[in-house]
């Protein structure tokens, strides 16, 4: 068993049935989010079956909104750091007196990673959805394995630290978290722009989770955060989406990543250079699919696609750089042309960014 396979076995349940059988892709697109409304991840499994091809995801931004968000990121980086070149900014934040890629990577390993504090809110109705502490800890372990590259992808140099766990018995919030998102978050949310507030409730089967993007924090900080269905956590009842990867996917949005199929085959897609274009989201695990004329097969194993959990493996290096660029632009406390305070970890925490597509 490889290291990645061992890590997957530790943090996620074994696949049930033929989770990686070729499947029919659904359609992307949907209505763009408006006015900072939470982005919805849209990964679902009605009755334990594959997600409906007709389910829509408010994080499918549409071409104009995706392009606008990428343009806003470039403007923000230019304003805060004097450059919108994410690769150059990566060198500035990592190199210091060192030179050469090998030495930069050595320094990167030595300085550690960006540590994101997590405020975990378990919303339940009596015993329904009342997650144990062990279940919450398994989800945090899954996040760290996924973002640490231990399941087969690249290390994003992002880590998650459970800072608090609370439980709220509220049947209305639990059974309809989308309708009650505002009052629920305003009551429970803690921390600032660099704190991840993660909520569990009975989101539903067609849509298993939803998240805000970091660009939306300034519109209404109280709505910032991620909500996932409690049955999507590791060993949950929503097979084949019960490895905890719904939270991995939604937190990717919270960290600034778009879907790999964003915009289909039309530039700029998700704006990340090393995620191949993809015409529509993956369903099941359609091995070898190549739906766009651009170079590269569809990234069906990427956490920002819609494949079954057993098909998902990791993020790309470019997605990791993009996450760190977005963090520096929108979630760090202070930043300027000569320094960056990422605002969550100890001094020397990872600082890097990535090239735009």
Q: Are 338 and 110 in contact (CB under 8 A)?
A: no
Q: What is the DSSP string of 274-325?
A: TS---SS---S--TT---SSSSS---TTBTTS---GGG--B--HHHHHHHHH
Q: In whole angstroms, what is the distance from residue 245 CA to residue 11 CA?
A: 10
Residue 237: HSE in the Cβ half-sphere, 13 Å Cα cutoff: 10
Q: In whole angstroms, what is the distance from residue 144 CA to residue 269 CA?
A: 27
303-314 as b/e: b if 16+ CB within 10 A: bbbbbbbbbbbb
Residue 119: HSE in the Cβ half-sphere, 13 Å Cα cutoff: 13
Instruction: For residue 277, give the nearest of 63, 59, 105, 109 by alpha carbon.
Output: 63
The CA angle 212-64-316, to the nearest 5 degrees, is: 60
**Residue 5 a catalytic site member:** no
Q: Point out the catalytic residue in the list 7, 86, 181, 250.
A: 250
Q: In whole angstroms, what is the distance from residue 119 CA to residue 140 CA?
A: 11
* C-alpha separations of 140 from 118, 133, 312, 340 in Å: 9, 11, 17, 26
The CA angle 96-103-79, to the nearest 5 degrees, is: 35
What letter would DSSP give residue 328? I
Beta bridge partners of 39: 211
7-34 as b/e: b if 16+ CB within 10 A: bbeebbbebeeebbeebebbebbbebbe
Name the residues annotated as catalytic: 250
């Amino acid at each position: 068993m490889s290291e990645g396979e061992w890590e997957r076995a530790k943090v996620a349940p074994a696949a049930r049935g033929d989770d990686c059988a070729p499947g029919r892709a659904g359609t992307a697109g949907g209505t763009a989010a408006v006015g900072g409304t939470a982005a919805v991840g849209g990964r679902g499994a009605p009755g334990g079956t594959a997600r409906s091809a007709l389910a829509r995801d408010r994080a499918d931004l549409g071409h104009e909104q995706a392009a606008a968000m990428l343009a806003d990121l470039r403007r923000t980086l230019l304003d805060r750091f004097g450059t919108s070149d994410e690769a150059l900014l990566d060198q500035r934040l990592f190199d210091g007196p060192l030179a050469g890629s090998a030495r930069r990577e050595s320094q990167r390993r030595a300085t550690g990673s960006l540590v994101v504090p997590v405020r975990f809110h378990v919303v339940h109705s009596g015993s329904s959805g009342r997650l144990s502490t062990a279940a919450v800890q398994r989800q945090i372990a899954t996040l760290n394995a996924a973002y640490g590259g231990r399941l087969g992808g690249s290390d994003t140099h992002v880590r998650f630290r459970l800072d608090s766990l609370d439980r709220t018995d509220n049947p209305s919030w639990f059974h309809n978290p989308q309708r009650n998102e505002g009052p629920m978050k305003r009551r429970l949310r803690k921390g600032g722009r660099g704190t991840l507030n993660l909520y569990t409730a009975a989101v539903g089967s067609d849509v298993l989770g939803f998240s805000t993007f970091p660009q939306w924090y300034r519109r209404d900080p109280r709505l910032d955060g991620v909500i996932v269905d409690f049955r999507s956590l590791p060993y949950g009842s929503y097979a084949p989406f019960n490895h905890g990867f719904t939270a991995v996917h939604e937190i990717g949005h919270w960290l600034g990543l778009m879907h790999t199929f964003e915009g289909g085959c039309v530039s700029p897609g998700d704006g990340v250079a090393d995620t191949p274009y993809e015409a529509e989201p993956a369903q099941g695990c359609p091995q070898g699919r190549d739906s766009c004329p651009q170079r590269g097969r569809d990234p069906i194993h990427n956490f920002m696609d819609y494949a079954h959990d057993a098909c998902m493996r990791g993020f790309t290096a470019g997605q990791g750089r993009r996450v760190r660029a977005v963090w520096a632009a929108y979630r760090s406390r202070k930043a300027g042309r000569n320094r960056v305070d990422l605002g969550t970890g100890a001094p020397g925490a990872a600082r890097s960014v990535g090239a735009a597509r």
